[in-house]
Structure 1
Amino acid sequence: MRSLAVLTLMVLGGCATYGPKPIPDDPDFAPVLPAFEEKPLVATGSMYYDAGARDLYADRKAARVGDIITVMLEESTSAKKSSTTELKKKSAVDLPAPTVMGRPVTINGNTLGIGISGNNDFKGESDADQANQLSGAISVHVIRVLPNGTLMVRGEKWITLNNGDEYVRLTGVVRQDDITADNTVSSTRVANARIQYSGTGAFADVQKQGWLARFFNSPLWPF
């Protein structure tokens, strides 16, 4: 029973990092199509008037549900941290031997003096250095227009390779003022951005630890 319990904990610890695998055509990233409304017929006397058309002199920028925005991925992060801790403690206690009438008190010729000393040293150092960079472009759909005019966007891009797929996913909120005249926006101007860049298949699998290795690196391992 003890061996079975240990094996169960190992399996659970190894499987703790598993989750649903990303797949193309995920319903959570399905494109949002604009609602097709029947245009009202307005009698203006002109055969070229279109009630639902955009302004002839306006920029062709995304502003409605279903419109497409191209997000330029310009992510670059760098973090560095260094810390040093050093603690020292030293203590000493010396109790001289008691004396009676000027003579030290002894037991079998041994004095009763006591001396205690101790040293405690601790030194710790830690360094962390991390840098990430992501560049490219991904086109996303406007899935909702908020009351203040900002746009909620969502989209993904899948690239099929010989031994697997690579994908980029992005969700976030974009201000219409940040969209340029050519209908692009920098990823650094996407609020609450969630950007995923990963892959599936043989290349992605060989970079993952096995379930036993993940167990020994998980919080369930007591040592």
Structure 2
Amino acid sequence: MNARLTFAALLTLACSGCATIVGDVRPYEPMTAPPVAYAPPPASASDGAIYPGSRSLRLFEDNKARGVGDLVTIVLVENTSARAQANTSVSKDSTIDMAAPTIAGVPITYKGNAILQASVEGSRDFEGAGNSSQSNRLSGSVTATVVQDLGNGNLLVRGEKRLRLNQGDELVQVQGIVRTADIGPDNRIPSDRVGDARIVYGGRGTLARSNAMGWLGRFFNSAVYPY
């Protein structure tokens, strides 16, 4: 019985070690951001008013996100398209002819052949063509948290969304700088108004592994392959 338990434990450890080799099951690294002192404000003594400093009850301020810890929804409207095309053609022909010299009207020959007559011809051609196109589209929304007030009307926000689906996990990460003036009354802002934006979309699981190239295929498509 003890031998069976030991074998099962060793098999479990081996399987878990193999799983860490697959690229899509490694844990995601958090997005980097400047150090933020994120602590709740100190409690202040009550001044005896009916509404003692409640932010949600301020008469001359809306509920737009503007402080550390507030939430803002970033609407993903990313749609990029790029295309490049280049064609190059070079051609050059060269010809040099040198007639046989004569001395006193008599050509210089050897056994009836002109030995100093020469002719040189050269030709070279080059043609090159390149074409590249790429298109990306990402839609959806992610609610991020204000992690730092930059003091000039800009806010540093960061957020992520994890989805556990039937055949794997999906992750969306968003980080960037937004202006409080661009935030709508419903605390929503399009992603094309986020400065220094970092948007990461990826997945883990069976579907992600089926779309990934194997290690041997990556080798033949890498720069180290000599052919």
TM-score by length of 2: 0.80
Contact 1:34 1:67 in 2 (8 A): no
* Residue in 1 that maps onto 2:161: 157
RCO (CA 8 Å, sep 6+): is it higher in 1 or 2? 1
* Residue in 1 that maps onto 2:124: 120
Q: How does 1:142-181 map to 2 (within 5 A)?
A: 142-181=146-185
1:87 corresponds to which of 72, 87, 90: 90
Alpha-carbon deviation of 1:106?
A: 1.9
* Residue in 1 that maps onto 2:139: 135
202-211 vs 165-174, greater mean Cα deviation? 202-211
Contact 2:145 2:157 in 1 (8 A): yes
* Residue in 1 that maps onto 2:7: none
For structure 1, which runs of at least 5 residues remain unmatched after alignment? 1-17
* Residue in 1 that maps onto 2:101: 98
Q: Distance in 1 between matches of 2:24 and 2:109?
A: 75
Structure 1 runs, 4 residues or longer, greater than 4 Å off: 26-29
Q: 1:27 to 1:132 in 2, by over 3 A?
A: closer
Alpha-carbon deviation of 1:28?
A: 4.8
Alpha-carbon deviation of 1:206?
A: 1.9
Alpha-carbon deviation of 1:131?
A: 1.3
2:26 corresponds to 1:21:
yes
Q: Aligned partner of 2:222: which letter?
A: S
Q: Distance in 2 between matches of 1:27 and 1:125?
A: 41
Contact 1:33 1:65 in 2 (8 A): no
Alpha-carbon deviation of 1:71?
A: 0.2
Q: Distance in 2 between matches of 1:187 and 1:36?
A: 28
1:186 corresponds to which of 153, 171, 190: 190
Q: Secondary structure at the match of 1:141?
A: strand
1:197 corresponds to which of 201, 207, 214: 201
For structure 2, which runs of at least 5 residues remain unmatched after alignment? 1-22
58-67 vs 190-199, greater mean Cα deviation? 58-67
Alpha-carbon deviation of 1:33?
A: 10
Alpha-carbon deviation of 1:220?
A: 1.8
Q: Distance in 1 between matches of 2:221 and 2:43?
A: 61
Q: Secondary structure at the match of 1:117?
A: strand
Alpha-carbon deviation of 1:215?
A: 1.9
Alpha-carbon deviation of 1:19?
A: 9.5
TM-score by length of 1: 0.81
